[in-house]
A and B are shown apart, each in its own frame.
Chain A
């Protein structure tokens, strides 16, 4: 199954995470380790189609955070993966993501936002686990399920909510919407509606990082790019093409698969010949890692390695996060196909509940601390809604702005003047 060849340059074995090792940024992902609890731990699912797809999968158990802690306590004196500050930061970020998305649902049904809105409930561990390790200059590329990536990266909740309400104060001036969150300041490169089309953009950002270092001689440029996408995307050509290019040129990128098992109503198992996505990494010459995406601490450990690897210039990594979305694909999805037992199974593994339990059991935080954070975030989200409500809608004058960086691109009109010089242009009523 897994090729055991030890070609020096390429790690062909999927990386496995040793849960007992201390949290460290520096350990390189070089030596293959025997498969741990985390690898190949695919869930047993009730399939609506034939079960012959199950042939090659081992059934494993997914370990919850608290189990890991129990093991660790018995094996070493290093028992904690995070400090109190880190723990609270992670908790706050996940609560923000959850509260924000819940508010989005409310606002959508109240008619404040429209169109396709894809919520991230349940997947917070992935966004928080990865993005909180990044620097501001690192880039994140996401998909249409991008609200929480934006929040984790530092885009203010106000800006995201306004964007969803279609107001000028939105992060994209109301021109992007739910599926197109961008922030130059926070290096959030989108927000893409078509799956897979963000991956090449992420590869390009990673290319720029390499170019800056090698051509522009910015020797300390080690910016890393994270590309987030789902299980459905992993059957798309752009995914494979970019895995190839990223590994070929050793780009500073981490490919993060948010495998929530469902592409709208298409089960991953019905769409994919080999559903174990992490195995596709070694085929292109990069490590492929599978991690429990409902556990923010595990995700964070894997992320540290992968991001560290990229930052050191050792090349890309493919990380498959096994996760789940508690809501439907979008707010328009009736979500009738998924088995209630499956949903219940994952609801019991809510990443926020898990982290809370960990923090309290390890005396990193008290109930009161966490409640205070809950309250704070509630206020942030309320404030965001208020702000968005009170913000102005774009006037027609905004229509023609930003189509071109250089508005001369609208060309020369019959009167010899550039169309952008027409006073009606700034009113948005010019004939272009």
Chain B
């Protein structure tokens, strides 16, 4: 079992458990041993044979604690009431991350529709306007292209805006600014202007929201040079990615999912970020690599339960970084399992999965024992009817079937 733990503390604390029992019932991704958290600590990598390397060659030591939270705990350890940290919902985690960064740096501000007095359409910015004022949490008119451009201009001149698309789909209106200015201005200005902007919002297929409110913009934005894209999926990585995105000097698009805002998890009290470029090992395994992100992570984990009962041992990786791909984590997994299944909510055509297949084939073709399988949403506008909507996205049963097919 290879578990890549990063961030904290004594190597001793990171010795991997020999038992392979991971209870995937609880979607709580907390470390299986409490970490002693120290700022400025270097990180360790636990190798598959249990050896621990400090500062493995090639990775930079990181000042902040960067934690690609890995294994799931078994239920006994998880339900201990003396666990450190605090419990909250995903939207609260986003809010916490945003609030902490706004306290830490006065230049951080929020812009978007209904982010101020209304508290955000999904309550991510609740209470912030009261605390920080109407200028730092700016209620904009309904003009996505222009207020995104305004955010970019503000970023160029010294601020660190967080622009919210009330629904990611609305950012289609801002495509001009996101593609031309957000992604490109650092380059076309010869490096003179940085654009430390975060563009975030809820996307993905919800519950019968209709076609236009159920879009997955990650596939449209992925070709834009000069931007990074990350997708959060747990309260832990939501807060971590939010903070990392705000601190990054690059423009980052943070994809949230409408259906994940009420996930509950216990997260550390201490300051932490999640590395923007890294994938997250959700469940180490041996038989097949399942790559996923955002909401599909939960469909995958549900399928994983079934698969485990059927005797399979899937390795589940939440790629988190949609652009660029973490080819190290992905590659190591491919080299181990030799079989890859991608499960995504994007459309089949031109989606993240399509790019991922290309990247894996290009880099790891020799390690594959079978063609890469990719389960994506159907290339249809998301229908309103619940029964139809259900079949446009990938369901756990399909994932189980796909793995069985792959592992024949």
Interface positions of A (Cβ within 8 A of B): 139, 141, 170-177, 180, 182-184, 189-194, 197, 199-212, 214-216, 237-238, 241-242, 244-245, 248, 401-406, 408-419, 421, 432
Q: Complex: how many Å from CA A141 to CA B157? A: 12
26 A-B residue pairs with Cβ-Cβ distance under 8 Å, sorted by A, are A172-B192, A176-B188, A182-B185, A184-B192, A189-B157, A189-B193, A190-B189, A191-B188, A197-B176, A197-B177, A197-B181, A200-B146, A200-B153, A201-B150, A203-B149, A204-B156, A206-B153, A211-B135, A211-B154, A214-B135, A401-B191, A403-B187, A403-B226, A406-B248, A411-B323, A418-B277
Tell whether A172 pairs with B59 under 8 Å between CB atoms, given A200-B153, A202-B153, A205-B153.
no
With both chains docked as a complex, state the minimum distance between the C-beta of B106 and any C-beta of chain A, in angstroms: 6
- Selecting from B121-129, B137-145, B289-297, B395-403, the interface stretch reads B137-145
Q: Which residues of A contact B364 (CB under 8 A)?
A: 414
CB pair B190–A173 under 8 Å, yes or no, is yes
| Of A171, A216, A241, most B-chain CB atoms within 10 Å | A241
Q: Would you give the shortest CB distance from B257 to chain A, in whole angstroms? A: 22
Most central of A190, A200, A410 by chain B CB within 10 Å? A200
* Cα separation A244 to B141 with both chains bound (whole Å): 9
Chain A hits for B329, CB < 8 A: 412
Asked whether A402 and B187 contact (CB < 8 A) given A211-B159, A413-B328, the answer is: yes
Contact residues, B195-252 vs A (CB, 8 A): 195-196, 225-228, 248-250
Q: Verify A421–B277 contact, CB threshold 8 A.
A: no
Query: Is B158 a contact partner of A197 (Cβ separation < 8 A)?
Result: no
Task: Determine whether B56 belongs to the interface, using a CB cutoff of 8 Å to chain A.
Answer: yes
Asked whether B146 lies within 8 Å of A180 as measured between CB atoms, the reply is: no
B-chain residues with CB within 8 Å of residue A208 when the two chains form the complex? 153-154, 157-159
A214 / chain B contacts, CB cutoff of 8 Å: 135
Interface residue? B60 (CB, 8 A): yes
A139: chain B residues at CB < 8 Å are 157
**B147 in the interface (beta carbon within 8 A):** yes
- What's the minimum C-beta distance from A217 to chain B, rounded to whole angstroms? 9
* Residue ID in chain B nearest A201 by CB atoms: B153
Contact status A402-B181, CB under 8 Å: no
Pair A183/B192 contact, Cβ less than 8 Å: yes
A413 to B194, CA, bound (A): 24
Task: Give Cα A409–Cα B276 distance, bound, in whole angstroms.
Answer: 8
Given A175-B190, A402-B186, A406-B250: A245 in contact with B150 (beta carbons within 8 A): yes
A180-B189 contact, Cβ under 8 Å, with A406-B248, A406-B249? yes
Flag if A411 contacts B321 (CB, 8 Å).
yes
Q: Is A411 within 8 A of B152, CB to CB?
A: no
A203→B189 CA distance, assembly (Å): 19
Q: In the bound complex, how far is the Cα of B323 from the Cα of A404, in angstroms?
A: 13
The answer to the question of B151 belonging to the interface, with a C-beta cut-off of 8 Å to chain A, is yes
Inter-chain contacts of B153 with A (CB < 8 A): 141, 189, 200-208
Tell which of A139, A173, A210, A404 has the most Cβ of chain B within 10 Å: A404
Beta-carbon contact of A412 and B146 below 8 Å: no
B59 vs chain A, min Cβ distance (A): 7
Contacts of A175 in B (CB 8 A): 187-190
Is B148 at the interface (CB under 8 A from chain A)? Answer: yes
- Do residues B141 and A201 form an inter-chain contact, with CB atoms below 8 A? no
Which residues of B sit under 8 angstroms from A173, Cβ to Cβ? 190-191
Which listed residue (A194, A242, A244, A403) contacts B180, Cβ 8 A? Answer: A194
Q: Are B192 and A182 in contact (CB under 8 A)?
A: yes
Given contacts A197-B149, A405-B250, A417-B59, 13 further A-B contacts (CB under 8 A): A170-B190, A177-B188, A189-B153, A197-B176, A204-B149, A204-B151, A206-B153, A215-B135, A237-B143, A403-B186, A413-B328, A416-B56, A417-B58
**Nearest CB on B from A348, distance (A):** 38
Pick the most buried of B133, B153, B326: most chain A CB atoms within 10 A of its CB.
B153
**A206, B193: Cα distance in complex, Å:** 16
Q: Provided the pairs A182-B193, A214-B135, A408-B277 are in contact, do residues A416 and B328 lie with their beta carbons within 8 angstroms?
A: yes
Pairwise interchain contact B277-A201, C-beta atoms closer than 8 A:
no
Q: What is the bound-complex CA distance between A172 and B188, given in angstroms?
A: 6
A242 to B149, CA, bound (A): 10
Q: Give 1 or 0 for each of B313-353: 1 = CB within 8 Å of chain A CB.
A: 00000000101111111010000000000000000000000
Known: A412-B324, A412-B327, A415-B328. A207 touches B150 (CB 8 A): yes
User: In this complex, which of B147, B150, B192, B324 has the most chain A Cβ atoms within 10 angstroms of its Cβ?
Assistant: B150
| CB–CB B157/A204 < 8 A | yes
A413 near B150: Cβ-Cβ < 8 Å: no
Please give, as numbers and ranges, the residues of chain A lying within 8 Å of B146 by CB-CB distance: 199-200, 203, 237-238, 241-242, 245
B115: Cβ under 8 A from any A Cβ: no
Binary flags per residue of B17-35, CB closer than 8 Å to A gives 1, else 0: 0000000000000000000
- Minimum Cβ distance to chain B for residue A90 (Å): 28
Give A191's nearest chain B residue, CB to CB. B188
